[in-house]
Structures are given as C-alpha cells and as structure tokens.
Structure 1
Amino acid sequence: MTTVREIIAIPMGDAAGIGPEITVKSLAKKELYELCKPLVVGDANIIRKAIEVTGVNLNVNVINAPAEGAYEYGTIDLLDLANIDMEAFEPGQVSASNGQASFAYIKRSVELAMADEVKALATTPINKESLKAGNVPYIGHTEMLEDLGGTPDPLTMFQVNGMRIFFLTRHVSVAEAITQMTKERVHDYLIRCDKALQRLGVENRKLAVAGLNPHAGEGGLFGNEEVVEIKPGVEAAKADGIDAYGPVPADSVFFQALNGKYDAVLSLYHDQGHIAAKMTDFHRTISITNGLPFLRTSVDHGTAFDIAWKNIASEVSMYECIKLAAEYAPKFTRESL
C-alpha cells in the first residue's frame, strides 16, 4: 500500500528556544520523508544556525509557496519570513521581536492550511513571555488557532502509544472542574469526541468516560457525582448513537485504553489525563487540537530556554508530532460532519 505524502507545515516556534533545533534534528530522519512532505515556516538564518549547532547534514531550500518544495530527504524546504535580526539575536532569552516572529510563523501556516496548500500543522514551542513582550494578543497556540481558524472552544486530545485522551475540563481548579462535570457537558463532549475521532478517520469508535471518585463512586458510596451527573451524561450520549461506556474507574480505564479496549478516554479534569499520558511516555505524548478546519498536532513541552542552542534538547517529541500529523493527514476530513 502506497503512503499518501501530505504537506505538513512546521512553524519553527520561538527562535530563542529549542524549536529550531528539534525541527532540524527531526528532519534529519529519513523515515519522515517517506511519510509526509515537511515544510518549515520560519527564518532561514535561524534554521541554518540550528543546522550548524546540531551538526546535522542538511541543506536549506528557500521557496515561495508549498507547491515549489522538493520534499526530498537531505533538504529542508523553507518558507522564509526573514524576520529575525541575527545581530540582536540572543538564544534562551525572552524577546519581543521573537514573540512577534513566532506568531507570524503560525499565522502564515494557518493561512496555508485554510487555503488548502498544506494539509496539517505540526507546531513547535512558543514562549508566553515573549508573546506578551511583543504585544501579541494571545497567550498561546490554542487561543491563536481558535481565532485564526474561526473555531470557538477547540477540543484537545492527547495521543501516546495509540492511547487517546480527551479532556472534559482543563485549566481550572479541581473544585471548579467538579462543578463543570454536569450531565449536559458529559453528553456534549462525548458527541464532540466522537466527531473528532471520525474526522481523524477512526472507525467503530468506543469511548470511555473516566470516573471521578475511587472505584467510580461505588454506586454513591464514595461520592455521588457519577450517579447524578456522569452516568446520566453517558446514557444520553448512548441514546444519541455514541458507543460510550462508563464511568469506568480511573485507576484502570487508561490501562484498558492503552491495551485497545477503548479508542479514547474522556478525562474529567486536567491532571487525570495528563498523568496517565505522561507516565506512559512523557516524550511521545502528542497533543492534537480538534475542531479546527485543519489538522494540528503539537509537542507537549515548552521552549526550554535553559537548554536552548546547546544541542542537548531531545527531538523525540517533535519527531512524533510530525509523524502523527503525517499518519492522520491523509484520512483527515476538513469539512464539518
């Protein structure tokens, strides 16, 4: 079976961070070119400097449009926004100009995706302090993509070693998360999770909802959230045709998903799913932003200014990020289902 090689845009991230290094290290692996057509959106001088620092044997091919790329191993095809002043550049430092530049790479990549010139984005780290210093009106990737892609409340999914995890709540306190665990929200999210998996090409989708309390509450003995809110939400989703299960005790549901019993788990709060994913394999935990008009995967780590430009940053997460985008891109459907 021939692999469909789609064009994957890779905005290089904050120039002062590890993004350029892990990008060139990843693109030094021949197998990626057998899976996709990687296209870096960034600054040519920075990418050349990253090649020099890391010692990888790669050339840079500056192009004006994705269709001009060669996409051959040994050459990085690059859309050069030429927006880094190399005389003023300082590795590992917060910089207003780098914050503005990193946003420009993302904006250009989204424009290409919206115009159907690339099939997916595989994003590298950006720095919140640099964005703020540069007066970029977004705190991070998700907020940028939500606005640029015209998608309110995009849905985050983690994938690691075949296990997929969605999040019912994310950046709120545990106390606030519990108040948000309503049957209506569980119902709505299961429908959205099923749709997200469908757009990724997953067939015969089985979704499990993690429990909140020990042993998923033991029928109300250890808390009644499962009885009053979570299970009714699951039952409502099942009535709408979703193949949903749960609540399943959180101490076993992720292990079961990792071993193929479920296609995805709906985690009830931030750390519940994050711990399960990152204990499975920290470096290979990849984030997918669902609900956008295009596919987006991302590393789940930051700019690591403390180790940037020292050739010690691991590219494993970036490699897996591009690889996952390449895996889903041929099956991903852009239209609303």
Structure 2
Amino acid sequence: MGDPSGIGPEIVARLFLQRPERRHGIVVGDPLVMAEAVRRLDPGGRVRRLDRVEAARFAPGLLEVLPSSALAVLPPVGRVCAASGRAAYAAIVAAIGLARSGRVAGLVTAPIHKEALAAAGLAYPGHTEILAEHAGGARVAMMLANDEIRTVLVTIHCALSEAIRRGDFAAQMTAIRLAHGAGRSLGIAAPRVAVAGLNPHAGEGGLFGDEEIRIIRPAIEAARAEGIDASGPWPGDTVFMQARRGRFDVVVAQYHDQGLIPVKYLGLERGVNVTLGLPFVRTSPDHGTAFDIAGRGLADPASLATAFAYAERLIARRGAAPATIPARDL
C-alpha cells in the first residue's frame, strides 16, 4: 500500500476501482487505511479483509486487503509520520514473505517515504535495501525502464561522494550481470549492455579522472569474457540518446541521478522501477509519495498501472524462451 500519509493507498484504490480486470491482485497493507482510501474515491466501494491469500475472491468492485498492520486511527495525510513509516515497512515485509513462499507471483509496491522510515527507527534508504535484506541478502540492483530506454544502477541511495567509493569492480560486475539478466528476462536473446562512464566524457583518457581506466573498463572486459555483450565506458551525456535510438538494450549507470533523470524526463507515468536479482518479480511506479497532493483526490495511478503491467509481463515470461522484443513493446 505504500506510505499511508502519501498517495500510495489512493493510487492503489483508484487503480482497482478504474481497472476491474485487475481481479487477480490483493493489497497488503492496513485495512483502516485502505478502507478510507476507497471511501474517498467511491462511497459505494467495498473492502474485504483477508485472513489468508488463498481466501481471495477477486470479485468486481471488491478491494481485498491482507492485513500487515492494525492502526487504531488514521495517520495524518501529507506529512512525515512515524506510524506511517512503520505501517509501510510492515506491508513490505509481509509481501516479501508471501513472494518468497510462492503464495503470490510478484510484488508491485506503492511509494514509501525515507524520512518516515527514519522517524520509525528503520534505517533503510528505500525499498531496494529492504528487499535485499529480507529476500536473503541477495545482490540486487535497481532498473528504471520505460518504453524507450532501460537503465540499471551501479549505486543507488547514497551521497555522490559515497557512490564514487562504492562503484568498485565488484559493484560494476554485479550491475552488468544483472543488466544482462534483465534483458534476458524481458525476452532479449543477446542483450546489448552499454556501461556509462563516471566522469565527463568517460574520463577523456584519464584527463578528467581515471575510474574508467582502473575500474570500469576492466569490468567490461571481464563481463565480455563471460559472454556478455557489454561495451563502453560511454560518455554519460550521450549514451542514453544512443540507447533511445536502438543501439543498446540496457544502460548501466554509475549513480542514481545519472540513470534516473533520462527515464523520468520522458514522463513519470511511463517509468517503472524493477528490482533485479531477487527470487521473485518486484516493480513499482517511478514517483514518490507526493505529500503535496495526498488526500486531495488528484493522484494519477498511471505509473502504478504501468508497473502492474510490467510485473505481469515479467512473470509471464519467466521460463519462456528468449526472443528479441524491442523496448517499445514492453
């Protein structure tokens, strides 16, 4: 359900109310929060509390909620709240348990707020780190994708200075391998992985930094030795343009903003966040909790719908033979 103080419950409820074909999904979250979200959108909407996943009926006009918390009062809307942070975290952990046990096919997570987690005493910078820890310490990476480009991040939620330190050879190899695997899971037989440089002009032969020479290029060569079609390092200011034109299938970006700005610039409603390296499918919309419009009935579920569709396609393709599928068809 995401953070109860943000737009998560609203966009989840709106998606279910607007898209009656979504009858094979349940909501993991707080029944009180979800009932209020439905009431605000449709006084005639129905919420049913589940005691187990297997009891879901998937009936039209019915939002089924598996409780992960039991709030006595509704948390405030539109501001950081520790109770909301705890409830959001509880929903994520409960959903991970369902996925790891095979009781659900995958997860689509609504936005959470990092400050709310911190206020609740939970030292996680985001979904990705929670998923990694509770999915058995998996080596994971974030992929942001739309119908034109896909990007996998070497480092995620940390200061830029820390990202430079963390982007070592092992981190490069993990990201490149996961990018290759992501392309395969999307049906691309031989994914073309472009690795962006860290420095301007990819270091300009060492004039603007030597990370490309010392770390990134050796990782690309090692990946190629494993049979991965990796290339680079490419200048960060042009590699996404080339990917958008069809030269590459996935771009490995060195840090958060380098990879996310190109995807988000093309439209938040089109972007999907996919966590790679997990034993189950997980996607999320490409936006935050939007406290400024929470509770006002203005939130658009388009990105959540895209994340839902992307998860369905990833789940459907698991076990399928790879075939070349262009980004625009995903």
Whether TM exceeds 0.5 here: the answer is yes
Aligned to 2:326: none
- Confirm whether residue 74 of structure 1 aligns to residue 74 of structure 2: no
Pair 1:180–1:60, CA change in 2 (3 A): closer
- In the TM superposition, what is the alpha-carbon distance from 1:170 to its structure 2 partner? 2.8
- Confirm whether residue 126 of structure 1 aligns to residue 115 of structure 2: no
Contact in 2 for aligned 1:24/1:47 (Cα 8 Å): yes
Pair 1:41–1:116, CA change in 2 (3 A): same
Contact in 1 for aligned 2:32/2:70 (Cα 8 Å): no
- Residue pairs, 1:27-106, within 5 angstroms: 27-30=16-19, 33=22, 37-55=24-42, 58-81=45-68, 83-86=70-73, 89-106=75-92
Equivalent-residue separation in structure 1 for 2:114 and 2:208 (angstroms): 40
Partner AA of 2:152 in structure 1: F
Range moving further from structure 2, 23-32 or 285-294: 23-32
- Confirm whether residue 194 of structure 1 aligns to residue 180 of structure 2: yes
Aligned to 2:156: 170
Structure 1 residue aligned with 2:232, among 246, 249, 271?
246
Q: Deviations over 1:150-177 (max 9, x none)?
A: 1244211111224210112233444444
Partner AA of 1:50 in structure 2: A
Range moving further from structure 2, 229-238 or 156-165: 229-238
What TM-score does the superposition give when structure 2 sets the normalisation length? 0.85
Range moving further from structure 2, 278-287 or 192-201: 192-201
Question: What percentage of aligned pairs have identical amino acids?
Answer: 37
Pair 1:258–1:153, CA change in 2 (3 A): same
- In the TM superposition, what is the alpha-carbon distance from 1:97 to its structure 2 partner? 2.8
Equivalent-residue separation in structure 1 for 2:117 and 2:169 (angstroms): 37
Equivalent-residue separation in structure 2 for 1:225 and 1:90 (angstroms): 46
- Confirm whether residue 26 of structure 1 aligns to residue 15 of structure 2: yes
Contact in 1 for aligned 2:144/2:151 (Cα 8 Å): yes
Equivalent-residue separation in structure 1 for 2:84 and 2:252 (angstroms): 36
Q: Deviations over 1:30-81 (max 9, x none)?
A: 3753xx7221112333222212222386432333322332334432222234
Q: Deviations over 1:203-249 (max 9, x none)?
A: 32111112344443454565544344332321221111111122223
Equivalent-residue separation in structure 1 for 2:53 and 2:198 (angstroms): 46
Contact in 2 for aligned 1:287/1:299 (Cα 8 Å): yes
Pair 1:300–1:211, CA change in 2 (3 A): same
Aligned to 1:268: 254
- Confirm whether residue 236 of structure 1 aligns to residue 222 of structure 2: yes
- Confirm whether residue 145 of structure 1 aligns to residue 145 of structure 2: no
- Confirm whether residue 309 of structure 1 aligns to residue 290 of structure 2: no
- Confirm whether residue 293 of structure 1 aligns to residue 276 of structure 2: no
Equivalent-residue separation in structure 2 for 1:126 and 1:172 (angstroms): 17
Contact in 2 for aligned 1:125/1:299 (Cα 8 Å): yes
SS at match of 1:330: helix
Aligned residue-pair number: 319
- In the TM superposition, what is the alpha-carbon distance from 1:265 to its structure 2 partner? 0.4
Equivalent-residue separation in structure 2 for 1:312 and 1:332 (angstroms): 35
Q: Which runs of 5+ in 2 are unaligned?
A: 320-330
Contact in 1 for aligned 2:4/2:84 (Cα 8 Å): yes
Contact in 1 for aligned 2:31/2:70 (Cα 8 Å): no
Aligned to 1:330: 316
Q: Deviations over 1:226-284 (max 9, x none)?
A: 34433232122111111112222323321222233222000122211111111122332
Equivalent-residue separation in structure 2 for 1:128 and 1:214 (angstroms): 30
Aligned to 2:306: 320
Q: Deviations over 1:9-45 (max 9, x none)?
A: xxx1222221110111122333753xx7221112333
Partner AA of 1:259 in structure 2: R
Equivalent-residue separation in structure 1 for 2:48 and 2:215 (angstroms): 55
